[in-house]
Amino acid sequence: MKSTTDWPTVALLFGCYALWALLLFVAPVWLAVVLLGPVIALQSSLQHEVLHGHPFPNQTLNEALVWPSLNLVIPYNRFRDTHLQHHNDARLTDPYDDPESNYLDPEVWRALPAWRQVLYQCNNTLIGRLALGPLLGTVAFLKSDLLSRDRKIYGQWAAYLPAMVCVIAIVNLSQLPLWLYVITAYIGLSILKLRTFLEHQASDRCSGRTAIVESGGVFGFLFLNNNLHSVHHKHPKVAWYRLPALYRANRDRYLQRNGGYFYPSYGAIFKRYALRTKDSVAHPLWQRR
């Protein structure tokens, strides 16, 4: 019988955790500080892979493998639920119905004090997103959950907290001070902000809202080929290691489908948007919806 297990994902999961442990307990502190951020980002990408049904047919086993979030602040179960809601392409970029949207309702934007508008505009440059994005995103996420008055959400946090305590306990047993680990976790979240910076744009066409960054390089590996994000949204159940071949075999069709929302590399994105806003914070098409 043909196995339905994604063994490359299994190997990468165990390799990720092994490297995390080696950096905490064996590597020089300077090397741990340099490499833990990318490892934490990789584990977040593996969590994304798991919520889409990989690597085993048993989803309970899958989730057990990634339940403790190495980034500390984003519980797997909350990430799972909000991200699956995000995959409703008809609602992509919606300031209210897309949990991963970076746009605001224009009326909300106009009501903000000037200092917050400046802060959000800085966050819409790439350098600003990398520096401020993890803080602003985490504060907004925690505030939304705390004020939700939703027992299910509170229960999800209660289920996650022991896993967070476990990660903190392991770090406290290692040679790395906890405050330094928190910095590396912030770096890991910052790396992920590079991926999400231009993943989606406002567009009248659902298929035109999702980007392709053709050459991902080392970031493509850390993001598990989600630089080909339009391909992932079209085929969310396809394993990460199959996305590049799928894209190469149908490149023209994917680029036609997403209206040419395309960047050749993350280097090109840095060059264009390092200190330039990618678009408005207020949703540019909201009044037409």
Is the bond preceding 55 in cis, omega lying within 30 degrees of 0? yes
Beta strands of the chain (E only): which ranges?
Answer: 212-215, 262-265
C-beta neighbour count of 31 within 10 angstroms: 12
Structural contact between residues 201 and 211, judged by C-beta atoms closer than 8 angstroms: yes
Residue whose pair of structure tokens reads 């809202």 in the numeric block: 209
| pLDDT above 70: percentage of residues in the chain | 98
Taking only the tens place, the pLDDT of each residue in 46-92 is 999 999 999 999 999 999 999 999 999 999 999 999 999 999 889 99
109, 100 in Cβ contact below 8 A?
A: no
Structural domain spans, the chain: 7-288
Distance CA 233, CA 242 (A): 14
- pTM of the predicted protein model: 0.95
Q: Can you give the C-alpha Rg of the chain in angstroms?
A: 19
Rounded alpha-carbon distances, angstroms, from residue 100 to 170, 196, 200, 210, 241: 30, 9, 9, 13, 24
Q: Which of 219, 263, 242 is nearest to 6 (CA)?
A: 242
Kindly indicate the confidence band of residue 279, based on its pLDDT and cuts at 50, 70 and 90.
very high
Asked if 235 contacts 87 with a C-beta cutoff of 8 angstroms, the reply is no
Q: How confident is the model at residue 2 (pLDDT cuts 50, 70, 90)?
A: very low
